[in-house]
Structure 1
């Protein structure tokens, strides 16, 4: 039995942050019903990467909304809102990521929902919180990386600020929302009442940087400088970074500079024998290391460094990762294509419980695919209370 079996989650969210939280709850056993507009549904259906579309929805939508059901309701129509309220009576969790105040205008804000179902856990995602000067700005990931300082500290010193090529703010907000929802559900077992869980993209991406922000504040608000050579971490000394070799790349993590000097046959590295010099002179150290690494292949350097237990690795692309035994042994891939349409291959839930991996091949629903079934199952009626 999966941990959340028997729980009903209503997913009003769109795009990535909220739907990713609902996806993880589905992976853990909850029944997740997407509440979508009859015309168009979740805007994420039209978010397309590299023109990849299947059954009129972007492949990204298929991957982030697998293992869910779709129920259509026009939330501007009072009759449809009443039907949704009947469904809310049955639910354990509600997730939404509209702009602050929208759910209140629709009559579905937390205060109203709590009157309908005091046990419900109400999860909400915003871009910048519920107040403050940025509250009306679009909650878009590149903007959040730029506004939060994350892009500024990434890349080498002479580079432009460099965003991480993942939706970091959205992803971490979804993770934090799941943590808050599960905590509130646990509290409900003791008190019988639900609660409201609020996260924002800004708070989540700031929390992601807690080590750096704390270091900056406790270092008398001194801004760090990115290394000019192969920067990978603004606060770590040489040799930390990614380097070219004769045929590809190699990543060097933490380890003894003296040991590295012996393996690479760079006697000059012995001149940097304390932490202060390893940090303050990291660029000149990295240049020495880079020059030497270019003389041999990644495989040969890895072999030599592993012999002395030096922390290092190859730098793989997705083709190399997916074909590697370390990946295939995890059995990470699932097929969530809709019946009668193309296969959609994506990753499974990364969580194991009691040694079991959770793999569901339930596809992302077509718009309104489950409306009639859910209406009948729960006895939902238009024009009257259930």
Structure 2
């Protein structure tokens, strides 16, 4: 049987105009662009948005931000000065031809620009208007910045991560990325609803909701009476039974997940140190004592030897990998999660690819992250603007054309 096609376009025919910056907005619409939607990203014309000029660890590939390269593929760049009347008029024209408008600007910005849902839906009633922000359009915190560490801090994630002591942040922008996925999911649901009913609608996700959603399990326990406290050492959460945590071995660390201590004891040959803890009813009430008794027994093993032994006994465990080790793990190699493309300035670029597989095909990198304003002329022409009018707007600094 031949392999499925390598350019799957499940959202072919859907047009999205995105006022998207930083991570949530670009990541959300990139999911949809990968799926085949025509995503038009509106960008500030003089320098472009933040993500073109910043990258974590100062990582620029031949002068191009790795952060930008990671979350701006398969979309078209239109550079418009939204502070000008002519620029706002052009943006309105583009929105009138869109199925979906996406914004993660601060809530008041789109209203000030006359690009809010009430204004746009009056012109196009079946429009889907999707927004993401730190705290919500109408919330008392709407004026505050929404940023990953801030939301991890405010929602308990940092306070409840790792062993007791100072707060610990997740090692990635988990709130941003989860909020992006939720926003994309909401847009897909709204598109399905519109197909069935003809109705457009406004939808919103917030970083605070995303951060709470990430912690649904812990909050369900807290809300229903659990007294949660971070463990002193070794254990990974406030609510799992032992041995759930990280344990040192002679050449690194392993993770032990949800497995009975009796089974672990059997795998280790029945050490007397574990004999008092074989009763499964003590796995939570004495979890710190169990972890403290178990930890010294594992340090004589190499990581690979211990993993092999534990897996033979059906014990849930894993190596603690750094990024280089993770990419060499057989399961990651099998998944082939890295996409490569050639960028005209950056050259060869490697990023994590679209995270879903489909039996009917796969998603291609159809458009590398675009040069600022690369598609301004093309998109405005599709909206009915003549070359003469586009050239005039460019001379006035209202748009940037390439």
**1:214-363 superposed matches below 5 A:** 214-219=220-225, 223-264=227-268, 265-360=270-365, 362-363=367-368
1:361 deviation in Å? 5.3
1:37-78, Cα deviation, whole Å (9 max, x unpaired): 112222111221222224644111111111111001111111
Q: What secondary structure sits across from 1:373 in the alignment? A: helix
Q: What secondary structure sits across from 1:3 in the alignment? A: coil
Report the equivalent of 1:190: 196
Asked if the contact 1:110–1:196 (Cα under 8 Å) also holds between the matched residues in 2, the reply is yes
Q: Tell me how far apart the structure 2 counterparts of residues 4 and 134 of structure 1 sit (CA, whole Å).
A: 35
Structure 1 ranges of 4+ moved more than 3 A: 54-57, 273-276
Alignment RMSD (CA, Å): 1.7
Query: Alignment length, in residue pairs?
Result: 380
1:180 aligns with 2:186: yes
Q: Tell me how far apart the structure 2 counterparts of residues 167 and 89 of structure 1 sit (CA, whole Å).
A: 33
Return 148-157 or 185-194, whichever deviates more: 185-194
Report the equivalent of 2:127: 120
Asked if the contact 1:85–1:116 (Cα under 8 Å) also holds between the matched residues in 2, the reply is no
Counterpart pick for 1:82 among 79, 83, 89: 89
Q: Tell me how far apart the structure 1 counterparts of residues 379 and 237 of structure 2 sit (CA, whole Å).
A: 50
Structure 1 length normalisation: TM-score?
0.94
1:66-95, Cα deviation, whole Å (9 max, x unpaired): 111100111111111111111112111111
Asked if the contact 1:17–1:125 (Cα under 8 Å) also holds between the matched residues in 2, the reply is yes
**1:51-200 superposed matches below 5 A:** 51-54=58-61, 56-157=63-164, 159-200=165-206
1:254-291, Cα deviation, whole Å (9 max, x unpaired): 11211111222323323224444221221111111110
Asked if the contact 1:8–1:91 (Cα under 8 Å) also holds between the matched residues in 2, the reply is yes
Cα distance change of structure 1 residues 252 and 354 upon mapping to structure 2, 3 Å threshold: same
Q: Tell me how far apart the structure 1 counterparts of residues 378 and 61 of structure 2 sit (CA, whole Å).
A: 24
Structure 2 length normalisation: TM-score?
0.90
Cα distance change of structure 1 residues 135 and 284 upon mapping to structure 2, 3 Å threshold: same
Report the equivalent of 2:213: 207
* Structure 2 unaligned regions, length at least 5: 1-7, 391-402
Q: Tell me how far apart the structure 2 counterparts of residues 203 and 188 of structure 1 sit (CA, whole Å).
A: 24
Return 358-367 or 282-291, whichever deviates more: 358-367
